[in-house]
Amino acid sequence: MNIENKIFVITGAGSGIGRALAIGLSAKGARLLLVGRNEETLSQTVSMLENTDNAKIIVGDVTKDDTRKAIQQTATKEFGGIDVLINNAGVSIVGELSSQSDDDLRSMMEINLLAPMQLVRDLMDLLEKSESPRIVNVGSMFGDIAFPLFAGYSATKFGLRGLSDALRRELAPRGIGVLYAAPRGTETNATPAQRHLTEPFEMKLDAPMVPAANIISALESDARSSYPKSIERLFVLVSRLFPSVIDGKLIKQLKRVQTSR
């Protein structure tokens, strides 16, 4: 697809991959509706754009009905519709499942999985009016390879990948494309809380602009998925064909975490 003049809704646009997507898409002439819970960080994102006049912000929680209604209304009033919905907002809470509260688990389920379903549903009428509608679900490599201490997060990202596959088939007759993106570890606001796990699990962290550039390229080529151009893609294949190999590696790495406490 040609990105110039297309109307994008980006959730979680106040930092990380969402901010990097906004910057990259603005440079290609996109019009942007940026959604997040913090007005200050959203305004900072806008200040970094090549064309600030082509961006509007909505401050709100995408798990709430009133925020989703505001997206509908603002997109219609300010831009006349929506071409691309990017479900990027997400939260990662790490640790043993037995230590996580109901609020922790509910937060990950609602933000990472339920909200994308609700947004697709609520914005469907606007998407169908576009000449080249797309949905982008930003998942994670944890949606292909389930790490210990990331059980709840992995579950939501596996679910998002399944949602993307189902929607791609369901919406094809309506001409709506679905792109599933699976970045590897990325430097975001959540990184400091997980820093103690990066070395034992041998995680490689990308700057946000790396997955953002991959996602934009995948959109331009009408790809069905976007994965990192690295060894992790091989691990995905091994995990599917020989899961016990990945079991052994990750259990060994988990023991390193436990012994380092």
Residues 120 and 168 sit within 8 Å (Cβ to Cβ): no
Residue 153 lies in a domain: yes
Domain CATH number, residue 166? 3.40.50.720
| Rounded Cα–Cα distance for residues 218 and 205 (Å) | 20
Element (H, E) at 181: strand 177-181
Per residue in 68-79, is it b (16+ CB within 10 Å) or e — as a string? bebbbebbeeeb
Residue 255 lies in a domain: no
Average pLDDT over residues 161-165: 98
Q: Pick the catalytic residue: 153, 158, 201, 227? A: 153
| 180 in active site | no
Q: pLDDT category, 205, cuts 50, 70, 90?
A: confident
Residue 125 lies in a domain: yes
- 64-77: per-residue pLDDT in tens? 999 999 999 999 99
Element (H, E) at 152: helix 151-171
Task: Supply the pTM of this predicted model.
Answer: 0.92
Residue 61 lies in a domain: yes
Residue 260 lies in a domain: no
| Rounded Cα–Cα distance for residues 122 and 68 (Å) | 7
Question: Domain span at residue 165?
Answer: 7-191+204-230
Residue 58 lies in a domain: yes
Lowest mean pLDDT among 63-67, 184-188, 212-216, 243-247: 184-188
Residue 247 lies in a domain: no
Quote the number of domains for the chain. Answer: 1
The pLDDT value recorded for residue 204 is 77
